[in-house]
Amino acid sequence: MFERHREKKAAAEYEQALAHWQRERDGEAAAVSLAQTYAGETTSELMLHASEAVFAKITDAGLIELRRGPGQWQGRSAGVSVPVGSLAGRPIRYHVGASRGHYVQGTPHPAAIDTGTAFITNQRMVFQGHSQTRECLFAKLLGCEQSDDGSTTFSVSNRQKPTTIHYGPQLNGWVHLRLNLALAHYRNEVPALIERLQHELAAIDANKPAPPTPTSPVGD
């Protein structure tokens, strides 16, 4: 009886692991297929350059920039009050202050300054918001960093501040793949990307969960 309970538990754990593996494999297989067949699309929402194609359109994206919080004076302050006359019978005094402190700037923190639509093409990233517009050309790209919170930061040589686009963790994998594919087309590195994705798919196949071995005699 104990053995049968253990077998049922092992079977349930196997089915759960197999379902997780299958989802991971399906996603990686879809990524391989997309890299092999997808070369972007045209759009009427963005003025495209010659040979430019859209690889991702992200709606309700947030434009994030660092903003400093309020600063403050720190340190002691002392002063004197000097009488300088009167007005309508009331004395007027002039305050002369002396501060030994210093002004401390506020701590920079990320803040959403606009929302809109972000386009990733094989030449650039473009953000079109309600009040802000940003363009990050791949030709001037210094670095590109993706975070687990669902955001991507572009650093380009013609902008002093980096540009961060937030779209949420639920789109992380989708945006990551589309951006990598767009960059691969820009750099003429699509075959290398396909090969890397195929290696990742082979690694997933090699780690397919094995079914549990029955411990009870057949027919018991």
Q: In this structure, is residue 86 part of a structural domain?
A: no
Cβ atoms within 10 Å, residue 188: 8
The CA distance from 120 to 95, in Å, is 59
In single-letter form, the type of residue at position 191 comes to P
User: Average per-residue pLDDT in the chain?
Assistant: 87
120 with 209, same domain? no
Average pLDDT over residues 66-82: 59
At residue 67 the predicted structure's pLDDT band, cuts being 50, 70 and 90, is low
Q: Which residues pair with 58 in a beta bridge?
A: 118
pTM listed for this prediction: 0.76
The CA distance from 118 to 43, in Å, is 13
Parent domain of 194: 1-37+189-220
Question: What residue spans of the chain are helical by DSSP H?
Answer: 2-37, 172-187, 190-206
Q: What is the pLDDT of residues 20-36, one digit of tens each?
A: 999 999 999 999 999 99
The CA distance from 168 to 62, in Å, is 9
Q: What is the pLDDT of residues 40-53, one digit of tens each?
A: 999 999 999 999 99
Name which of 77-91, 144-158, 170-184, 201-215 the model is least confident about: 77-91
141 with 208, same domain? no
132 with 205, same domain? no
7 with 56, same domain? no
pLDDT at 71 over 60: no
Closest to 173 in 3D by CA, of 146, 212, 206: 146
CATH of the domain at 141: 2.30.29.30
136 with 45, same domain? yes
Better-predicted residue by pLDDT, 194 or 111 = 194
119 with 181, same domain? yes
Q: In this structure, is residue 143 part of a structural domain?
A: yes
Q: Which residue has the tokens 């027919």?
A: 219
In single-letter form, the type of residue at position 172 comes to N
Q: In this structure, is residue 116 part of a structural domain?
A: yes
Number of domains in the chain: 2
The whole-number pLDDT of residue 135 equals: 97
The CA distance from 87 to 107, in Å, is 44
197 with 211, same domain? yes
Q: In this structure, is residue 82 part of a structural domain?
A: no
The CA distance from 62 to 160, in Å, is 19
Q: Which DSSP letter does residue 75 get? A: S
Q: What is the pLDDT of residues 120-136, one digit of tens each?
A: 999 999 999 999 999 99
3 state DSSP class of 209:
coil
The CA distance from 59 to 43, in Å, is 14
Contact 91, 83 (CB under 8 A): yes
Q: In this structure, is residue 121 part of a structural domain?
A: yes
The CA distance from 61 to 120, in Å, is 12
Q: Which DSSP letter does residue 189 get? A: -
The CA distance from 121 to 104, in Å, is 42
